[in-house]
Structure 1
């Protein structure tokens, strides 16, 4: 298997399952990882990571670019603020899909703008953990 996808999760996503369950549900990040691995089995190797530190996320995107990996990125709140993540995606030349568990367009106004969407291949939001599996299918279907 030669295709590798980096599933990269940003700040506070380690709290899934207990963080605001009325908004994010009770599915944990570990549950999402298991779902993604099962969904991609036989089609792609999955690297699944989470960091609460912007610089670590930037470094992993750089690594993915050097290694030729596709990136599925849930940047959490950094989606709306991080020029560094935007520049990392663009500069590293990665094929990236932005994902969100919730439909950010049904939430607070400040969540309606993404700093990274313009340099991603696409954005998938609002489908809970299925947002991640949809992103796997999308990345594997890109030329």
Structure 2
């Protein structure tokens, strides 16, 4: 039985995790999160493809690639693009690969402009507010699909 390929896509400024506003986003780096996901993925028979870009078009291209590669699921933390990107919304709707929206913090407890999610309107579901563990919870949900 082949392992389940799960893309983990991260948007703008997530390369700064661990140093950017640790009171909101935590002290763990994206590499720390990748290590957590690879470890948990091994237990769930999931292969992790972890990526980060500050460019919206890269995220759109990677969503298309996930579909082409027949990925089992995509975990997407689109960062600020969550609240602005109709392009990501449309890309998620254009593919059949399930997308789970992920957030370290809970956007609904933050500034009002963060309350609307274009990504969430198209995603299978959303995991938010559990810090780095949001990714692990989302991976467990993805593996169960």
| TM-score above 0.5 | yes
Equivalent residue, structure 1, for 2:90:
87
Q: Which runs of 4+ in 1 moved over 6 A?
A: none
> 1:26 offset after TM fit, Å?
1.1
CA-to-partner distance for each residue in 1:36-93, whole Å, 9 max, x for gaps?
1101114111000000000001000000011111100000000000010011111122
Q: Which residue of 1 aligns with 2:47?
A: 45
RMSD (Å), alpha carbons: 0.9
Gaps (5+ residues) in structure 2?
A: none
Contact 1:73 1:96 in 2 (8 A): yes
d(CA) in 2 for partners of 1:94, 1:105? 26
Would you say how many aligned residue pairs link Structure 1 and Structure 2?
Answer: 142
Q: How does 1:13-24 map to 2 (within 5 A)?
A: 13-24=14-25
Contact 1:66 1:92 in 2 (8 A): no
**Matching of residues 68-87 of structure 1 within 5 Å:** 68-69=70-71, 70-87=73-90
Using the size of structure 1 for normalisation, the TM-score is: 0.96
What's the offset of the Cα at 1:2? 3.2
